[in-house]
Amino acid sequence: MKLSSEQVLQIALLARLGLTDDEVDRLREQLSNILENFEVLQQVDTSNVPPTAQSITLQNVMKSDEAAVSLPQNQILANAPRREGEFFRVRPVLE
Amino acid sequence: MKINHNRLTIHEAYKLLRSKQLSSVELTKAIIERIHQVEPKVHALITVTDELALKQAQKADELIASGDINPLTGIPAVIKDNMCTKGILTTCSSKMLENFVPPYNATVVEKLTDCGAVVVGKSNMDEFAMGSSTENSALFITQNPWDLARVPGGSSGGSTAAVAAGETIYALGSDTGGSIRQPAGFCSVTGLKPTYGRVSRYGLVAFASSLDQIGPLTQDVTDCALVLNAIAGYDPRDSTSAPHPTPDYTQCLTTRLNGLRIGVPKEYFVEGMQTEVETAIRTAVSKLEELGAKADWEVSLPNTPNALAVYYIIAPSEAMANLARYDGVKYGFSYQGTDSMWEAMKKTRQYGFGAEVKRRIMLGTYALSAGYYDAYYLKAQKVRTLIRQEFDRAFEKFDVLVTPTSPTVPFKIGEKVDDPLQMYLSDICTLPVNIAGLPAISIPAGFADGLPIGLQIIGKPFSEETILKIAYAYEQATEWHKRKPDL
């Protein structure tokens, strides 16, 4: 499975990840090599085998809906790269 | 007699603290002095919290004076830098979180603090815990205390090197595919990955949510049990934490292994395995037989070789979803040179993430993308079922499985950085355990030319007591854990 540069850029777009031309080249090589090695899985017979998403059997974990104290607003905003008053400042979504 | 304070175990220090022969402040000062002495060589710690530590030590001494003492009171600890510490930098060794100061404590940190623990530092790691050598840290490289030209393993390389170098009495690490056990093996310390769900992950920066687990890195098995006692248990803030009761893990530590059945799966003795490692593990199994256990050398887990592909599809897929939150809006690195939302997000992630993290985000995005989901992600989840079933069947016949922790002794810094697949292979013996959610421990089992070899003991889900018991019996019958690196 050899990836093309276009495929690498398409995956990067889905992941919202900027890449330099060098990174595109290197990732094309490395990902192709890794994916080629993963082809061993295609040899494994998995007909009638259910998928495993997690290894413990807990299901539908519930908790009671009780109000609790939240962290103070100024502490939450302390790490904000851009803030305006008591809000996170963001760039326009619709232009 | 001058006591070498920085080499005390938890249980030794506890005795001295309880009998007032030593104060927590004295112990903490000795550790801080040691940090300043060896850190220029080892580079295990990102943040040294010496001021906070001395305050905590004073408080611990007051607690002890009032008779309020438990085995971790007043004892210095190092926390891996992917666990949130309120008011203390938590970087995940990433440029993305270089300036991130969490507003809350991870549950494990809270639990240790409640015990009166003294936090002396936050440790270096592979960025976002992705790696096997700590070379993927965006901040600096950590050296193996046994040979400064070699890696300490990873991703909990900083925590592990700090324990081995005497910069702390114990540490916490996290393990997604071997990140506690592989460095423990590489640095000759004891490292436990508990059963998936045994320890709360609230406040652990998420990497791969179906695999991540926090565990202790200690100087011996007794200490490992003591730390597990403090951190194990159900947490309503982590919906994947298990409601199972937690025993006192020190109660199982006996040296008689009569009646225990040990399986040695042959697939773990892989092609390319170092001869000295194989010899050490075979010798260790013979030792366990001498101690009363019954070993079967012909166990087969045929899907073991598929674990690498399963892991490197599932872990990156989960990682790419978990890392989607780093968009430069709420916290972390944020690219400012544009007014476009998409451009800012793209550049934030381009400059904020390092090469391995980008590689895994790309791999995960590909495996989950339309047209490839069935062939990669779903296929990997099905083979994951087969790996679990093989373990289940083996555990009908055996109490534990014993394997090497890694196929080789620690490799040289730089040796594998340009070949991601070779790097991934150093976790080949530890990955299947996370895939199946099992508990496993790595303990010191010998040396090859002065470089450590680790023995891995794998148990059934929630059978930490059994693996600790076997590890303890082996440790008491050998001297490996007492050897310390010269620094």
pLDDT bucket at B3, cuts 50 / 70 / 90:
low
Residue B9 has pLDDT above 90, yes or no: yes
A-interface mutation test, from B304, B362, B458, most A Cβ less than 10 A away: B362
Q: What is the mean pLDDT of residues B261-273?
A: 93
Tokens of B472: 């303890």
pLDDT score recorded for residue A15? 97
Closest partner residue to B306 (CB to CB) among A17, A41, A63 is A41
**End-to-end Cα, chain A, rounded Å:** 39
Distance from the B206 Cα atom to the nearest Cα atom in chain A, whole angstroms: 15
3-state helix, strand, coil in chain A (%, to 5): 40, 5, 55
Give yes or no for a contact between B344 and B334, defined as CB atoms under 8 angstroms apart: yes
Query: Do B336 and A81 make contact, defined as CB atoms within 8 angstroms?
Result: yes
B213-218, strands of its sheet edge to edge: B45-48, B118-123, B76-80, B170-175, B213-218, B190-193, B440-448, B451-459, B400-404, B261-265, B294-299
| B179: annotated active-site residue | yes
Query: Do B332 and A79 make contact, defined as CB atoms within 8 angstroms?
Result: yes
List residues bridging with A88 in a β-sheet. A83
Which uninterrupted H or E stretch holds B130?
none
**Exposure on the CB side of residue A33, measured as CA atoms within 13 A:** 13
pLDDT score recorded for residue A22? 96
Spell out which residues of chain A touch residue B420, defining contact as CB-CB under 8 Å.
Answer: 30, 34
Considering Cα of B164, then B170, then B171, then B177, what sign does the dihedral take? positive
Average model confidence (pLDDT) for chain B?
96
ω before B24 within 30° of 0 (cis)? no
Residue B305 has pLDDT above 70, yes or no: yes
Q: What is the mean pLDDT of residues B124-130?
A: 98
pLDDT score recorded for residue B272? 83
Give yes or no for a contact between B428 and B210, defined as CB atoms under 8 angstroms apart: no
- Chain B residue with minimum CA distance to A94: B341
Query: Do A34 and B421 make contact, defined as CB atoms within 8 angstroms?
Result: yes
| B80: annotated active-site residue | yes
Q: What is the mean pLDDT of residues B70-91?
A: 98
| B155: annotated active-site residue | yes
Q: Which of B23, B80, B159, B463 is catalytic?
A: B80
pLDDT score recorded for residue B2? 52
Spell out which residues of chain A touch residue B243, defining contact as CB-CB under 8 Å.
Answer: 58
Give yes or no for a contact between B110 and B79, defined as CB atoms under 8 angstroms apart: no
- Chain A residue with minimum CA distance to B380: A41
Q: Is B11 exposed, middle or buried (0-12, 13-18, 19+ CB in 10 A)?
A: middle
List residues bridging with B402 in a β-sheet. B457
Q: Rounded to whole angstroms, how far apart are CA atoms B446 and B279?
A: 10
B-interface mutation test, from A16, A39, A48, most B Cβ less than 10 A away: A16
**Which of 1.10.10.10, 3.10.310.30, 3.90.1150.10, 3.90.1300.10 is the CATH number of B5-258+444-453?**
3.90.1300.10
Q: Give, in order, the Cα–Cα distances in Å from B384 to each of B269, B379, B388.
A: 21, 8, 6
pLDDT, tens only, B335-378: 999 999 999 999 999 999 999 999 999 999 999 998 999 999 99
pLDDT score recorded for residue B1? 41
Q: Give, in order, the Cα–Cα distances in Å from A64 to each of A59, A61, B317, B393.
A: 16, 10, 31, 38
Spell out which residues of chain A touch residue B345, defining contact as CB-CB under 8 Å.
Answer: 16
Give yes or no for a contact between B178 and B61, defined as CB atoms under 8 angstroms apart: no
Query: Which residues in chain A land under pLDDT 50?
Result: none
pLDDT score recorded for residue B270? 81
- Give me the percent of chain B exceeding a pLDDT of 90: 95
Give yes or no for a contact between A1 and A8, defined as CB atoms under 8 angstroms apart: no
Domains assigned to chain A: 5-43 (1.10.20)
pLDDT, tens only, B406-460: 999 999 999 998 888 888 888 999 999 999 999 999 999 999 999 999 999 999 9
